[in-house]
Chain A
């Protein structure tokens, strides 16, 4: 039995290898514990689920009261012509489940409106609800239920060549945002004691050439910085000119041979190249500062999520032992150096990071104890991870759908300023809102049948105008867009559904794993021009 368990684990590791390298075993664990609800198994819906089932989400439940139509099968890979007439949730579940035996697939043959009427708490159980091709009224109703229950809600829609997504989550915290181009945390402008001592242990002037050219560039910069300070009132090189002069100072330190020509010292070249990185002033990034100043960080209660408890702990550290600085991250980039010098330097940073994290731990512990919570309710490992990522913490707060729709709180500025350029993706948002209005009035979408297109253009135009009027939006929507949206006839072409399927699944994974940063809050994709935009509405 032991053996089968191990085998299963290894084969899972192999199967998920390419993604484990992105979100780690802990990210995968989060995914495997998640239960996602999909409303409507249209092409967009099944494409989203496919991209969640493949990486091994724990469970999904499809809610769909529709019967499969011939049109549904035409654009959907997870329905076949033999499923025409059957319930769409059931038919899609069968073919999606078949993708990955690790995943548990469920379905409910019911419309979301019925569920909202009879059992709104049904939706409380999910890690995330994804609503696809929903009428506006359902969207708003469900949005309000989920907002109150604190369940994240992702709205997705493919409308002709336009893709739309709206994320509604009250507060989403991210420890591991995995930034693409993170600045190093080297503290050369404010070296900590242990680093100072380590720098002092080097004497570049008395070194053999071999050691001299294998001294890590961090040390080289630190040494020449001391020299610079002595000549410049202990001020860092600030502008380009000063940095150039500083580079020259380092360059002059390159050993020369008996003829006076400089030796080949790659570590010095690296030092010169890295002057900017090295002189980057140590400070708390504004996003982290905002987190410290947030009300959730200020007022910790016994109910506070561990993110905020740890944020408070780090804030205590910054305001006390850290002297205004975050805990040391404890990593350095690779650089020319012999193994011994590099490892020793790396350990100086690592040890300091451990020490700082231990101090943060004490703060966290004290905080937990003040609510009578056991200190081990937040593990040492979690705190270390938090400290290591202290400069990259992110909190995403989306506005509710109610706020987006209310006359008092809708984001007029964003809409008006974007609409200054007539082809901004914002016009697509206004068109989708107008199409919803059309649906409300006519109980159908414009231009579904060929004969409707011409007459629906005028009807849709009325909807656009009444929308703009109602919200007092003094913007111009080109007739071309009205015509184009009638032409779409609410079609859901597969390739646009698939684009959204990939994008939405990735956002779902971000919400579930609390890694990487979700968009906030409205995403529009224009497949005609292959462009996209994100708005806060």
Chain B
């Protein structure tokens, strides 16, 4: 988009008005097709900065990589399970090949892939080990080639820090959603770098976004203490998961395998489980002694893992309050995103940050 000056009959305020008018029209169009009102009545749901890979089932540590930077904020597992990516306050995303050879120093083989101008908030491999998608405090997302470190595509549009991203599970797999401090969730086309859809209904920072398993919708968790479901085909928000008693921000969301349940972690140390379709809360889980900073359901849907500032990762099954968490893992730093490895159900990767 070239930096043109004003044309005849255009002034800054006329452009602004035009933009605002279009925005209103768009909302009207979206509202016209919203024939579900209210939703509920029509349908009857380290101190030293380490990255650690745990075998969640046996709770044994499989790998540990010491990071040179002090705050690690993002980590991801490669689809093959042979490498991990992480980054944070160092503004970079680095890829470490995993090895079971005790003699090898994993940190030595690290590859610096992404370079942002501010902290790295999230990263994710695309369909292979060779490409990484990152989001940053500098307000942009970017797609990188791992081998060369080349920037393949950048995504501009957020007006403030981008805090989270998630790749679509769709058949063509070419989009992703990002959430930021500007309260917007934006859907991007990987190929063109364009923003396809944008949603701005939250009242505060969006901390986490996750696609619904079919790829037709996504959920977001925000500091405004609500989680919301956005439908991509209807192009609007279709559900809000909130309660008067929930007054602390939500930090993370994930769906159960069928998409019927939504697990959400909050800054009030609890995990709430919602019925996605009915919009009601199914259960509330206690146990963590500090903020729940992150949460993921395992790829085979058998359990979910929550990480917290109380230095533990807890794996829990089901949503019944009486069932105790199945496994406990204690660690020395407040937890940043754990991710289940895709190929096996049992390994967890998480990043450690100093208190």
A-B interaction: no
Residues of B within 8 A of A (CB): none
